[in-house]
Structure 1
Amino acid sequence: MYADRSGQQRGPVDAATLRDAYRRGDVAADALVWREGMAQWAPLSQVAAELGLVINTPPPLPGGLPPMSPAAQAAAYMPVATQKKSGLSGCWIIAIVLGVVFLVVMAMMAAIAIPAYQEYVSRAQFVEATILAEDLKPAVEQHYQRVGTCPTNESPFQAPETYAGRYVARIELQGGPKPCEITAIFRTDESVTSVLRGSRVTMSGVPDGDSFTWTCRSSIPERYRRNSCQ
């Protein structure tokens, strides 16, 4: 590469082209040139020998001004190949933007998915309580038809903890006159969701001839209950 008389960078060109440019007067002897392997730009006169070029001695500058030193000329030009760009590349910027967008989307999905999952788990645990309570209905009905009163957790029934489940701590039977009540009480440990922990589900049965009419009640919000206990 070389700098022509107007200061414009030209090239890369081969040695023959550079010699022809010098002979036509397009390139001066003090024009800066550079090739791969050179540490910096240098005057053409310094590399003329390796180019096979005979340099004519230039006439003195008008006004007696001294010519610019080769070091000063070389400092004015630097090889394009040695220039480096600072800052992040476009690919890195795109990657960072995509990463931020991904984190925002994941946070939004978590905000939606976690409450929905908690509701699903609570409903499943509520179902266990109602199933355990419903399993005792036939025995309660038979006891009432036989003796005319609602049973308690004594003979022929057993202690409340006997009827416990994975999420239910105990089931209590309320004796005496109608209605007969079967109450499932949830555990208070971490195995149960916070909305159900320690809560109660009660089945109330009223004799109706040879059968019973049962209703379900609970203080648990309706969205966590099964349809049969609304």
Structure 2
Amino acid sequence: MILILGLFTIGEISAQDFKRINYQLDFGTTLTIPYKSTIEIWPEIDKHPHTDYSPNFGYFLEVMISYNLNRKYSINTGLNYNYTALGISDKIGLFENKGNLTNSYLTFPVLIKCRLSNKLPISISTGPYLSLLISANEKGTTYIDTAGFIFDDPDPLLESIEPIQKYNTDVKKNYSAIDYGISLQLDYDIKLSQRLNGVVLTRFNYGLKNVLTNDLVNNSSANDWKNYNFMIGFGVKL
């Protein structure tokens, strides 16, 4: 929708604005797509482990440098900070956990960019990325069905259990330190002033690596996972 509106409001960037090297600052929101929406273990057993994942929003900030080979092709690279989030609902027996699973990565993309038209300032980019894990955290609420505890004699320990408990767990050890994949990006350039250009961007990062280690994530049934997320934002070219 942003790109379509831009087509009606912004004219073509003039040829005299060509520069060999551009610096760009981008920021915006991320939308993480679950690699798997539901994971079940031993479904034939009553109250079996069962985890549901849902998309959630994060944010990103990046500094990019672009080397223009000519007026149509360029090479873009830089440094990206990407904070992603997923909704998670996990049920194991009498325990149910609801919260968010968040990760932050420092990413190095290398994109080949091609301008699609001489009349419209629309470009498409693609290339690999390499990410380094900074943090991974799971935060939420545990609901315990204490009515499901059955015992012959009163047990002070069980009776003292709170049915609702908060948790906030560092799960970085459950993730690989490195992720990699392929990015696909669509740009629309905007003329802001005589010397300053903006860009509206959408990027999809397609992870190729299983980012989980052999240990299970704290409140999750997953034993393999790949990162998929969209980035939607705005940039300023310097």
Per residue, is there more strand in 1 or in 2?
2
Higher relative contact order (CA 8 A, sep 6+): 2
TM-score, normalised to structure 1, is: 0.24
Mark the structure with the bigger radius of gyration: 1
Per residue, is there more helix in 1 or in 2?
1
TM-score, normalised to structure 2, is: 0.23
